[in-house]
């Protein structure tokens, strides 16, 4: 029986379930028979089996009734739906059908890519993925702040024979194999993009014809990037100039894919960085051409008609939401007490809020703080559909087994709508059918998005707006301390599954392996053991996403645009504990 991995991951693998085990689909050209460790161990992960109220186990019926009563009591008060993507299935959004009618506040932006995506929208209007079939046509692949070995591993096969340029402050596995690795200083990607523009212009690499047809504000852009001196840019990026120039020459007149990841977007200037990278690529005329373009997470639902997406509700940015302002908080598919920035602040807010509901599969820091815990059912026991932020396949997720325990999102929503006498839902099958019909191609067992039938951005009327201004006033680089790199771990999916529980430090700093240190920032502190690694720069430390307490160190700022989280807009101090 065929289904799709539900985890929040680029690859959206096609999965075969034989009634007991999950296996990679061999017929699926991208999944190619392999799953990653996270899904391989998914079914062994201990689940929440019983609902809980004030720490006492109750039945699902009792839990739903308590939820109804508490909602009824807070009807004219402030309530919040906080939904993340623990399960990436689109039907998970169905709870919005109830909470919008009820008048709850929703969240805007996300903890992930919304800052970066805002810059893409400003430049090119729509964020198309750079799909594997498009990347296959490139000669050069630039991997910029994306750790493909861990987070997007099926792409390794596609890029294995390409000329590879990696831009990452860490010697990642791919960085070690690359033709060029620019071990950039953290938070200087905007400057590197501008440096690329400066040298490309000196080398007369700009595509005048393309710019005349598709670009606007190129003259302003020219003045803008020339206002930065080369020395200033070399100084801030700290890259090796010879390697940089070799990289530029490799890109020149050669089909190049830029695979940009979340590493560049965990800062306040995420939108400007993405727009500057796009502007460099646009200047070369590398949009709408075979084997060229920029891919960055982002909107995976382009062209599809979507239910549960247009509500007239109040919103508050997800990354800075103050739970304490709400009388009732409904947390779905998320672990904000660990994954939101500034978790000391999040803890205070959750404690202050009168009633916190956690609705998920696994126990975590948030379930431990909740007044009411409602177990959900896993992806095998409910019907859904998912998109990918990396390829063009749309994955069906049929219901393949009965629920052992827990309540599905559809049933929970149906229950609440009925208790409040609101109009009822259509059937799951109907919603999914409508979504699929709106934009799909069908071949063998697979569905792909029609949005990729023609080359993205190749339309005659495609219009690109170059960047010509910066509002970045961050002074992070002048602050004392080390940069905090907090990327994804291979064996966890954010806070789900295994975590690593180490701080990775360059050996020259003089700590011993397994020695305990205290890491401090303006926002909090964390005691953690050391693992030495010369993969890091001497000015940075690394603690993976999902590690308990890592976000005590991180700030609750928003990106300049897009309401994005800024996990790395911070410097840390280290002391022996």
Ligand X SMILES: Nc1nc2c(c(=O)[nH]1)N[C@H]1C(S)=C(S)[C@@H](COP(=O)(O)OP(=O)(O)OC[C@H]3O[C@@H](n4cnc5c(=O)[nH]c(N)nc54)[C@H](O)[C@@H]3O)O[C@H]1N2
Residues engaged in binding ligand X (CB under 6 A): 8-10, 38, 84-87, 111-112, 144-147, 150-151, 167-170, 172, 184, 186-187, 189, 261-264, 297, 332-335, 339, 359-362, 364, 376, 485-490, 492-496, 545, 550-551, 554, 567-568
For residues 347 and 5, what is the distance between their CA atoms, to the nearest angstrom? 31
For ligand X, the closer of residues 85 and 449 by Cβ is: 85
Smallest distance from ligand SF4 to CB 155, Å: 10
Instruction: State both tokens at 399.
Output: 């219901």
For ligand X, the closer of residues 263 and 288 by Cβ is: 263
For ligand X, the closer of residues 390 and 439 by Cβ is: 390
Query: Which residue of 9, 170, 319, 550 would you call a contact of ligand SF4, by CB under 6 A?
Result: 9
CB atoms under 10 Å from CB of 188, counted, come to: 22
Instruction: State both tokens at 329.
Output: 């908080």
159 binds ligand SF4 (CB under 6 A): no
* Residues from 116 through 155 that contact ligand SF4 (CB under 6 A): 153
For Mo ion, the closer of residues 148 and 180 by Cβ is: 148
For Mo ion, the closer of residues 283 and 565 by Cβ is: 565
- Map tokens 């190619």 to a residue: 32
CB atoms under 10 Å from CB of 72, counted, come to: 10
Residue 477 DSSP class = G
Residue number of the CB closest to Mo ion reads 112
Question: Which of ligand X, Mo ion, ligand SF4, none does residue 39 bind (CB under 5 to 8 Å by kind)?
Answer: ligand SF4
Backbone angles phi, psi at 5, to 5 degrees: -60, 135
Smallest distance from ligand X to CB 319, Å: 9
Contacts 24+ apart (CB under 8 A), 212-218: 213/460, 214/282, 214/287, 214/288, 214/462, 214/463, 214/464, 215/282, 215/464, 215/465, 215/466, 216/463, 216/464, 216/465, 216/466, 217/465, 217/466, 217/468, 218/283, 218/466
118 binds Mo ion (CB under 5 A): no
For ligand SF4, the closer of residues 34 and 529 by Cβ is: 34
Instruction: Tell which residue, 288, 282, 275, 268, has the closest CA to residue 122.
Output: 275
328 binds Mo ion (CB under 5 A): no
DSSP labels, 199-240: HHHHTT---HHHHHHHEESHHHHHHHHHTS-HHHHHHHH---
Dihedral sign, Cα of residue 181, residue 185, residue 186, residue 189: negative
For ligand X, the closer of residues 79 and 107 by Cβ is: 107
Residue 209 C-alpha from the chain's centroid: 35
**For ligand SF4, which stretch binds (CB under 6 A), given 8-16, 112-120, 181-189, 367-375?**
8-16
For ligand X, the closer of residues 142 and 394 by Cβ is: 142
Query: Which residue of 25, 28, 39, 190 would you call a contact of ligand SF4, by CB under 6 A?
Result: 39
Instruction: Tell which residue, 292, 294, 296, has the closest CA to residue 138.
Output: 292
**For ligand SF4, which stretch binds (CB under 6 A), given 34-42, 53-61, 105-113, 429-437?**
34-42
With b for 16 or more beta-carbon neighbours within 10 A and e for fewer, the 518-552 pattern comes to: ebbbebbbbebebbbbebbbeebbbbbbbbbbbbb
For ligand SF4, the closer of residues 396 and 425 by Cβ is: 396
For ligand SF4, the closer of residues 85 and 353 by Cβ is: 85
**For ligand SF4, which stretch binds (CB under 6 A), given 7-15, 313-321, 399-407, 447-455?**
7-15
64 binds ligand SF4 (CB under 6 A): no
Query: Which residue of 7, 141, 251, 517 would you call a contact of ligand SF4, by CB under 6 A?
Result: 7
From residue 432, alpha-carbon distances to 36, 50, 90, 303, 439 in Å are 27, 29, 9, 15, 12
166 binds ligand SF4 (CB under 6 A): no
**For ligand SF4, which stretch binds (CB under 6 A), given 33-41, 201-209, 522-530, 531-539?**
33-41
Query: Which residue of 112, 194, 282, 329 would you call a contact of Mo ion, by CB under 5 A?
Result: 112
From residue 107, alpha-carbon distances to 78, 110, 313, 409, 410 in Å are 13, 8, 10, 18, 20
Residues contributing to the site for Mo ion (CB under 5 A): 112
By CB under 6 A, name the binding residues for ligand SF4.
5, 7, 9, 11-13, 35-36, 38-39, 153
């Amino acid at each position: 029986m065929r289904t799709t991995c539900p985890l929040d991951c680029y690859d959206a693998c096609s999965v075969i379930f034989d009634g007991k085990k999950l296996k990679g689909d061999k017929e699926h050209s991208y999944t190619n028979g392999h799953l990653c460790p996270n899904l391989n161990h998914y079914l062994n992960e201990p689940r929440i089996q019983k609902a809980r109220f004030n720490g006492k186990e109750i039945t699902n019926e009792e839990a739903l009734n308590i939820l109804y009563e508490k909602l009824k009591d807070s009807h004219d008060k402030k309530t919040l739906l906080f939904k993340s993507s623990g399960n990436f299935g689109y039907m998970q959004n169905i709870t919005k059908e109830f909470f919008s009618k009820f008048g709850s506040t929703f969240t805007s932006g996300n903890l992930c890519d919304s800052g970066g995506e805002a810059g893409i929208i400003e430049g090119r209007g729509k964020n198309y993925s750079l799909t594997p079939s498009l990347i296959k046509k490139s000669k050069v692949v630039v991997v910029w702040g994306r750790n493909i070995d861990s987070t997007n591993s099926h792409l390794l096969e596609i890029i294995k024979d390409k000329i590879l340029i990696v831009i990452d402050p860490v010697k990642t596995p791919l960085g070690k194999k690359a033709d060029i690795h620019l071990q950039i200083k953290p938070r200087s990607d905007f400057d590197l993009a501008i440096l690329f523009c400066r040298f490309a212009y000196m080398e007369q690499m700009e595509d005048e014809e393309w710019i005349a047809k598709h670009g606007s504000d190129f003259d302003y852009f020219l003045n803008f990037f020339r206002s930065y001196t080369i020395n200033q840019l070399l100084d801030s990026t700290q890259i090796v100039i010879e390697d940089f120039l070799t990289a530029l020459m490799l890109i020149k007149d050669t089909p190049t894919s830029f695979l940009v990841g979340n590493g560049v977007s965990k800062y306040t200037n995420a939108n400007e960085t993405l727009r500057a990278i796009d502007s460099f690529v646009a200047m070369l005329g590398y949009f709408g051409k075979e084997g060229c373009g920029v891919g960055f997470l982002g909107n995976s639902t382009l062209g599809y008609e979507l239910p549960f997406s247009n509500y007239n509700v109040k919103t508050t940015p997800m990354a800075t939401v103050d739970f304490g302002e709400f009388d009732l908080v409904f947390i779905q598919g998320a672990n904000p007490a660990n994954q939101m920035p500034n978790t000391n602040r999040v803890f205070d807010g959750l404690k202050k809020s009168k009633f916190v509901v956690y609705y998920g599969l696994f126990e975590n820091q948030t379930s431990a703080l909740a007044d009411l815990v409602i177990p959900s059912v896993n992806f095998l026991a409910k019907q859904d559909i998912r998109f990918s932020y990396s390829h063009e396949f749309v994955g069906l997720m049929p219901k393949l087994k009965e629920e052992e325990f827990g309540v599905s999102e559809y049933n929970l929503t149906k229950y609440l709508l009925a208790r409040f006498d609101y109009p009822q839902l259509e059937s799951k099958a109907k919603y999914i059918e409508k979504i699929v019909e709106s934009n799909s191609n069908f071949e063998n067992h697979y569905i792909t998005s029609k949005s990729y039938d023609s080359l993205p951005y190749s339309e005659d009327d495609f219009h690109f707006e170059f960047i010509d201004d910066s509002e970045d006033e961050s002074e992070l680089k002048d602050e004392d301390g080390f940069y905090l790199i907090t990327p994804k771990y291979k064996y966890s999916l954010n806070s789900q599954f295994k975590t690593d529980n180490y701080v990775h430090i360059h050996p020259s700093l003089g700590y011993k392996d397994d020695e305990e240190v205290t890491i401090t920032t303006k926002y909090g502190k964390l005691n953690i053991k050391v693992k030495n690694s010369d993969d890091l720069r001497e000015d940075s430390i690394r603690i993976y996403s999902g590690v308990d307490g890592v976000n005590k160190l991180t700030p609750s700022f928003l990106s300049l645009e897009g309401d994005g989280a800024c996990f790395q807009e911070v410097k840390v101090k280290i002391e022996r504990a």
